[in-house]
Amino acid sequence: MAVKVLINGYGSIGKRVADAVAKQDDMEVIGVTKTKPDFEAKLAVEKGYKLFAAIPERKGLFEEKGVEIEGTIFDVIEDADIVVDCAPGGIGKDNLENIYKKYKVKAILQGGEKAKFVEDSFNALWSYDRCYGKDYIRVVSCNTTGLCRTFYAVDSVTDIVKARVVLIRRGADPNDAKRGPINAIVPNPPTVPSHHGPDVVSVVPKFEGKILTSAVIVPTTLMHMHSLMIETTGTTRDAILDAIEKTPRVFTVSAEDGLNSTATIIEYARDLGRPRYDLWEIPIWEESVNVVDNEVFLMQAVHQESDVIPENIDCIRAMLQMEDDNMKSIEKTNKSLGIK
């Protein structure tokens, strides 16, 4: 029987998680929530999702606008086997304390929440077993997910002694007219190291003290980009390329093929006919992969709106003990979504 999934927060991440859950033969979406009756709420109903008010006092707003609503989150939460919280960063922890724990329902939070509020942090390659059967888990952020996958590939062929990463973060998602910068490069966070190193360690504790990250924000909406420098005990370029080939959800792209920027990578995702031009995999520039004196260099991009989506699906399977082999869950999810 399909497990019942409630999506609390139907925004950039929530709508993608809902569509991915709907594609699984072992899961069903029992509802999605919004706080306001805008176009996303209307489209959710048109797509056939049952819509609920995330905040009970807002229910009247939907009725006033004629947007079909089934009730509030409190009318559906007891039917859920698990809630995937996709509310804006910082709100998930309040929902965890005020709703999910009170109703004793398992919940997944997203990367905008801190590690300390949950039992563990999830990446399908690294921490599936640890999260198996747990109640409250965080799927780490898009950037952290991208780093975890690439470190997995490198770690599969050599030992990582120390890694340094510079993250070039997109200024806003494409639908966001309020954030920036429009014409500046902003150290963000202004302090070094950034939170991404500790976030990777929350998934892979053996990397404690080994990952140092700094980040800037630039005026683009398409993707993030990372420049990785990974000191190892010894490896070769061919071994790293082979490891990338064997690791799920990462792949190489070549500037020679015209995939020489985030712009053409997104065009590639469009040409693949991906929903919302989502690129769930992490593209690594083949030409950037190099090994100098045991240090691995590479550059990769991250489609911030979509790389965490398959992770949420695998996290549901782990928490609800639906599949005990992480690689089998990854394979099932990949197949259902059409991941390379």
Ligand X SMILES: O=C(OP(=O)(O)O)[C@H](O)COP(=O)(O)O
Residues that bind ligand NDP (CB under 6 A): 8-14, 33-36, 54-55, 86-89, 91-92, 95, 110-113, 141-142, 173, 304-305, 308
By CB under 6 A, which span of 56-64, 71-79, 139-147, 318-326 interacts with ligand X? Answer: 139-147
**Between residue 74 and residue 103, which ones bind ligand X under the rule CB under 6 A?**
89
46 burial type by CB count under 10 A (0-12 exposed, 13-18 middle, 19+ buried): exposed
Of 4, 169, 210, 303, the one binding ligand X (CB under 6 A) is 169
| 112 assigned binding-site residue | yes
CA distance 52 to 69: 6
CA distance 211 to 198: 8
Q: In the chain, which ranges are E strands?
A: 3-8, 27-34, 51-53, 71-72, 82-85, 106-109, 120-122, 136-139, 160-170, 186-187, 211-218, 224-232, 250-253, 282-285, 290-292, 295-302
Say how many residues touch ligand X, by CB under 6 A: 10
| 170 assigned binding-site residue | yes
CB nearer to ligand X: give 105 or 223. 223
Binds 143, which of ligand X, ligand NDP, none (CB < 5 to 8 A, cut-off by type)? ligand X
CB nearer to ligand NDP: give 110 or 213. 110
| 12 assigned binding-site residue | yes
| 316 assigned binding-site residue | no
CB of 72 to ligand NDP, least distance (A): 11
CB of 141 to ligand NDP, least distance (A): 5
Catalytic-role residue among 86, 131, 142, 148: 142
Q: Please give the single-letter amino acid code of residue 105.
A: V
**Is residue 142 a contact residue for ligand X (CB under 6 A)?**
yes
**Is residue 111 a contact residue for ligand X (CB under 6 A)?**
yes
| 149 assigned binding-site residue | no
Residue 141 exposure: Cα atoms within 13 Å on the Cβ side? 20
| 130 assigned binding-site residue | no
Of 33, 304, 326, 329, the one binding ligand X (CB under 6 A) is 304
Spatial CB neighbours of 102, under 8 Å, sequence gap ≥ 6: none
CA distance 214 to 11: 28
Locate 32 and state its tokens. 């999605």
CA distance 304 to 111: 11
**Is residue 112 a contact residue for ligand X (CB under 6 A)?**
yes
Q: Please give the single-letter amino acid code of residue 312.
A: N
**Is residue 225 a contact residue for ligand X (CB under 6 A)?**
no
| 141 assigned binding-site residue | yes
- Using alpha carbons, select from 125, 136, 120 the residue that is nearest to residue 199: 120
Binds 144, which of ligand NDP, ligand X, none (CB < 5 to 8 A, cut-off by type)? ligand X
**Is residue 312 a contact residue for ligand X (CB under 6 A)?**
no
Annotation marks residue 142 as catalytic: yes
Q: Taking CB positions, which residue lies at the least distance from ligand X?
A: 141
CA distance 306 to 304: 6
CB nearer to ligand X: give 4 or 249. 249
| Chain-centre distance for alpha carbon 251 | 17
Q: State whether residue 178 is helix, strand or coil.
A: coil
CB of 143 to ligand NDP, least distance (A): 8
Locate 228 and state its tokens. 């990785």
Q: Which residues bind ligand X (CB under 6 A)?
A: 89, 111-112, 141-144, 169, 196, 304
**Residues placed in the known binding site for NAD(+):** 12-13, 112, 170, 304
